[in-house]
Structure 1
């Protein structure tokens, strides 16, 4: 038995779980972005894709079963959002993050990046500014810029294989035109679970200056190696009353294509302004399958999630050991959350173009280029997705090791 069956029975041994995540799935013909974007983005389609942040693991069977059950009722007209969608989310957040969220604080949003774009347009004018903290998920920069807003950079500081916030710099760059700060919590690409002390300090800073914090918490259910995610809005009154939180089950349960995201806004005035706009434009209405998948994930998914994260942890360790033994010039930074590993390649002493040539044309790998997360801050880094069967991960590292050896001769 290699996966959940219709009676919700789980694999009985650790080996059964490992076999499940070790299974290589042929994604050809599914229209997946990971493979379909290779030729337009990299100019070649013979690359091993270890880039976009979804997983190569099968979506859990209990989610597929729930969707299939609805498909058997072959009429897909307009539907209402079931109350169970909200109670299931509230219970999950209470259980996993010890945060008591009220139903009236919540709304469906059609994707977290879209939610950020909506917030940028609703809470800033064209002459106002948005603060981001690079190296960081690139839509944080592209979305405000694409909507005609100026982006202010508050770069993170390196701290022995991780990052910390630079509050001295934040004090210098935050002027009266700064109206939003987009927080990545947990952080992408480095996987930092921000401490309570850091979040409280950030909340106090932003509340004093009337800068609303947009907290992207899509990786919140993927803390690993004993770390814990802390929801930004839960740390203090200043955080609660001056923030918009975005969460989703989509990364954790590999259902990104279903689009099931939600906003949490405790402050009455911020919530009224944001949700009024969502409602007027029908942006708060979920697609048919989003609530079905979310309810199935949060009601039945804890055991699957736990074993998936254990497999991811082992993959991170595998990358660390492999690089230490076979690729001396590359140092993986251990993430505290998610399945993304920030590869520090600076000891290879390559220019940006030379690093891309090494990974793409010599190693035949498609990873996210570090500079997309911050031209200066991400220089010399590459982002590796390790949510893939071990055999695929080893193949990629073998190709990279061979390319590095050939490059230094």
Structure 2
């Protein structure tokens, strides 16, 4: 099956953000794009077949969600995450970030404090700032090559009157899969200071053994009652362009407030193809996903091994996601110089570390959900540029 994931799929001229915007973003059409978080793999054939069948029907009127779709999600969460939910807890939306925008508006007030753990996925900043809420940062500690939660700072920040905590689990960009103990400690502190938890778990399905994703809502009933979880098959099955996601909200009062905001903003219906893809992926995607995880893990090991003997670049092994956080600080370049080096000398397009927060300065994020030949080419370009720079010095 790995041969399937090593097929090179030409994505040019498909309006692909990752490939067709390379020159506009990086100033050179020869830059190899390894940035935005979608995959260069084809989706499971069962999903393609379901979409083709639906397309052949030829009519695309308004589409509703139903008990069958609810049950499909319930089965997936039980099977993959040992999480038994009620259909009554589910809401649907086009995307996780859209839902987070709605949650911030529905369940906090202007000037309320909202805590995020940095460095973190850039939209976490905008979901707070665009609604005139105040960002409070709990900076993650990078110690001995691994990120940890600064719980002393976490509690101190909650004491300041934080109303909501936006959790990234697994964490993007650092790739941490939070343990049950870490989640319980964060959740208990949120209970102590009466803080709501908005948990973005879009990468939940992409975790490498022995690590296990634990939905924070499953830790205990107290945490569950103050948690809203945001999930989607889009990262798991490369369906981002179909815009489909769901919310798991056990607390009826929180759920009803969020539902009302969805309706106020006219966000109460999914597109036909998104519904079709979700159902097919969660029904017939398990084997494909298991094989995908093996392939991405292989690519992760390839990157780590390639830089393991170097002192100028440190690769932080991800426990989940198909994204790798790379530390270039030993190059002693300014962040602007680093970006220029990677774009112009290495000709590799990575995600700018500073876009994840100030603590991302000197770091870059690389996406390895692509054929191994692409990963090898990206590694080769970076190492060749590094060696050329060292030789020139």
Normalised by the shorter chain, which TM-score bucket?
Answer: over 0.9
Residue segments in structure 2 that go unaligned for 5+ positions in a row: none
Deviations 1:197-227 (A, max 9, x none): 1111111111222211110000000111321
User: 1:90-105 maps to which residues of 2 (within 5 A)?
Assistant: 90-105=74-89
Secondary structure of the corresponding residue to residue 31 of structure 1:
coil
**Higher mean C-alpha deviation, range 63-72 or range 150-159:** 150-159
Match of 2:303 in 1: 319
Secondary structure of the corresponding residue to residue 101 of structure 1:
coil
Per-residue deviation at 1:280? 4.0
Q: Contact 1:50/1:385 (CA < 8 Å) preserved in 2?
A: yes
Cα distance in structure 1, aligned partners of 2:368 and 2:49: 26
Per-residue deviation at 1:137? 0.7
Cα distance in structure 1, aligned partners of 2:168 and 2:376: 29
Cα distance in structure 2, aligned partners of 1:147 and 1:206: 22
Q: Contact 1:18/1:311 (CA < 8 Å) preserved in 2?
A: yes
User: 1:6-45 maps to which residues of 2 (within 5 A)?
Assistant: 17-45=1-29
Instruction: Provide the aligned C-alpha RMSD in A.
Output: 1.3
Asked if 1:351 corresponds to 2:334, the answer is yes
Cα distance in structure 2, aligned partners of 1:386 and 1:71: 31
Secondary structure of the corresponding residue to residue 318 of structure 2:
coil
Cα distance in structure 2, aligned partners of 1:347 and 1:121: 42
- Aligned to 1:389, which of 371, 384, 387? 371
Q: Contact 2:328/2:363 (CA < 8 Å) preserved in 1?
A: yes
TM-score by length of 2: 0.96
Per-residue deviation at 1:147? 2.0
Cα distance in structure 1, aligned partners of 2:170 and 2:329: 24
- Aligned to 1:214, which of 184, 198, 208? 198
Match of 1:330 in 2: 313
Cα distance in structure 2, aligned partners of 1:112 and 1:44: 32
Match of 1:309 in 2: 293
Secondary structure of the corresponding residue to residue 99 of structure 1:
coil
Match of 1:271 in 2: 255
Asked if 1:405 corresponds to 2:390, the answer is no
Match of 2:214 in 1: 230
Q: Contact 1:250/1:256 (CA < 8 Å) preserved in 2?
A: yes
Asked if 1:87 corresponds to 2:71, the answer is yes
Deviations 1:266-308 (A, max 9, x none): 1121111111222344313111111210111011111100011
Residue segments in structure 1 that go unaligned for 5+ positions in a row: 1-16
User: 1:222-261 maps to which residues of 2 (within 5 A)?
Assistant: 222-261=206-245
Secondary structure of the corresponding residue to residue 139 of structure 2:
coil
Cα distance in structure 2, aligned partners of 1:87 and 1:282: 25
Cα distance in structure 2, aligned partners of 1:290 and 1:282: 17
- Aligned to 1:190, which of 167, 171, 174? 174
Cα distance in structure 1, aligned partners of 2:143 and 2:230: 27
